[in-house]
Every structure is written in structure tokens, then in C-alpha cells.
Amino acid sequence: MGIAVIKEAMLYEKIGDNKVHCKLCAHSCKISQGKRGFCGVRENRDGKLYTLIYGTVSSEAVDPVEKKPLYHFYPGSYVHSVGSIGCNFRCKHCQNWSISQVCLEDAYTMDIPPEELVERALLSRSSSIAWTYNEPTIWHEYTYECAKMAKEAGLGTIYVTNGYMTPDALRNIAPYLDAANIDIKAFTEKFYHDVASAKLAPVLEASALAKQLGIHVEITNLIIPSVNDSLDEIRELSKWVYKNLGPETPLHFTRFHPQYKMQDLYPTPVKTMQEACKIATEEGMKYVYMGNVPGSDRNNTFCPNCGKMLIKRGYFDIEKYEITPEKTCPKCGEHIPIVGEYAGSKHAPGEYDY
């Protein structure tokens, strides 16, 4: 069991009576002396707010960037991925509930200082570092310091996030954050209230702001049968992404499999997944993907102008890449919005240079 590193938090203010106001995420917790915020990892000690998880890592792996999923960011590259403990959501379907919903004192962790994380990423020959597996927003002090060091070392930086952060938090990390996959879990406040114990509006605000700040944004929507699979809801989500993030924003619809407190449900029918992709395309989205459906053509990238297959993907690997060095379709010349160069198969996941 790891020993948590305690560090004074960023983005809070003292509000009298030894209380503090945390301004990191949209819960905007007012925390009394000796208490913790909704996330469970930020604690008021004698009128000061502290993060209890600075450097605390519960999970570490070298992943294909496509697994995040990021399909338009340094395709074919590998990402040094780390997660911590806790979350500012209470999703009933969380696949990583064993780290996101566990009490910090009961978790098995290790301490990795920022400079060591960057070194480990370089040794693994990863192109980027991703803060993922649980919610990186609540890890802000650590991700901020790591991201600055990563940029200095020539590494990319990635958030896989629920988007439930304040504008101040996002603006603070933005200069050092290259890409984010933002999970818009549904398009109703009812879902966010009942399933995640949160609100939709701050997620939409953060998604739009991230785009404005120059962060490469891809959106994921997990479609859960009978919960958020209304075709009208999917159409409204697609319209919002088109209008606020742009038609070239990659939109990933992901198939649900029963998890955690939603094991009484069934996997999303493939037909529903196909309908979702069709609707998003009808609404003008140019790059619509289908996750957790192996073998689907919707896992590939096609030219939105002439229809040529440009990137053929396996499960999480690239089998064929035919976008020109100028980021255009070789058949019709259409510009294809890809950030960074195609990495190819330079090494296998977990292959280190020691």
C-alpha cells in the first residue's frame, strides 16, 4: 500500500470559519475543517486545502494512443498512461470503479514524482503521457507539474476526462495540454444527476473552452441501452458537437458492456450503434467512429469528400495508413485533420530501453 504525498492544493480560497472553497471542479465544494471534497482526495487541514494524491499512482501502462481513444493525434504512437485514486463522478457503470470509487486509505498505490514519470515515459519510448483510468481533473497539481516537464522533454500530453472542471482549472493546464478525449456521457441533465451525480452543463462548457484554447479535442459517448440510447438524444448531442466543436471533431460512439452497478443491463445492440453513427453523419460530422465493435468499418478513417479509406485499424493498431505527409487524401486532396505524424510500428507496448 502506497504512502500518499500531501501537498497544498491549487485553485482554492479560504472563506472563513476555517472553511475553504475548492475551485478545481464544477462541484465547487465548500469544505469544513477536517473534511474532504466530493472527490475524496482533497482535504481541509487547519483552513488550508491539500491534495492527498500528489504523485500517487494506482495504474501504469504503455497504451496505443488509439485506446484512449484518440484517432487523430499522432496515429500509431504509444502513450505512457497513469491513473490515481478517486473521481468527481459516481458513475454507476464505471469500468474502473476499483480505483475511482475506492477510499484512498484502502488503495494499493506507488509514488511516482513528476520527473520520474517523464523519465519512465522516455524510457518506454512513448510519444506522450496520458492521465487516464480515473479522472485527471482531481489530480491537477500533479498533472500540471508533470505536463510542464513533459513538454520540456518533447513529450505530448493527454487528458482522458469527464470534462467536469472549472474554466480556471482548464485555463491553468491548457498551455501544457495537447489533447483531450472528453466523455460526454449523455445529453440530458437527468442522466448526469441520476447516473453520475453531476451536471451536464459544465461538461459542455469545458468541451467548448478546450477547443477554443487550442487543445486537440475528441469526444466519446458511451451508449447505454434504455438509459441514454434515445435516437433523439443522440441527434441533439451530434448537433451540439457540430455547432460548438466543429464538423471535423472526431466523435466516438462506444458500445456499453455491463459493469459495476449496471450489470442488470445488456450490451448495446450493434444496430443502435450503427444508427448513432448514421445520425451523427447526417448532422454533418465528418469523422464518426464506433468503439467496442470489433471488425466494424466505423473503426476506420475515411475521406469525407471522396470516401477513400485512409486509415485502417485493427483492434487498437493501425494496419494501413494512406494520408499524405501534407495531411491530405491521396485521391482527392481533401485536408484531413490529423495532429502530428504517423508513428508507425516503432516498438511494441511495454518495450523499454533500459
Contacts of 204 (CB under 8 A, 6+ apart): 163, 184, 240, 244
Residue 94 counted as an annotated binding residue? yes
Contacts of 312 (CB under 8 A, 6+ apart): 300, 318, 319, 320, 321
Query: In degrees rounded to 5, what are phi and psi of residue 341?
Result: -90, 160
Reading the block at residue 182, the C-alpha cell is 472528453
> Residue 43 burial by CB count (10 A; 0-12/13-18/19+): exposed, middle or buried?
buried
Q: What is the pairing mode between strands 128-131 and 78-83? A: parallel
* Closest CA relative to residue 11, chosen from 224, 170, 128: 170
Give me the count of residues in the chain.
354
Q: What is the DSSP string of 123-183?
A: HTT-SEEEE-SS-GGGGHHHHHHHHHHHHHTT-EEEEEE---B-HHHHHHHGGG--EEEEE
Residue 29 counted as an annotated binding residue? no
Where on the phi/psi map is residue 46: left (φ > 0), alpha (ψ -120 to 50), or beta? left
> Residue 187 burial by CB count (10 A; 0-12/13-18/19+): exposed, middle or buried?
buried
* Closest CA relative to residue 23, chosen from 226, 162, 145, 164: 164
Residue 22 counted as an annotated binding residue? no
Q: What is the DSSP string of 253-285?
A: EEE----TT-TTS-PPPHHHHHHHHHHHHHTT-
Where on the phi/psi map is residue 85: left (φ > 0), alpha (ψ -120 to 50), or beta? beta
Give the sheet arrangement for strand 5-8, strand by strand: 5-8, 48-54, 42-45
Rounded CA-CA distance 164/171 in Å is 13
Q: List, as residue ranges, the binding site.
A: 87, 91, 94
Q: Residues annotated in the binding site for [4Fe-4S] cluster, as ranges?
A: 87, 91, 94
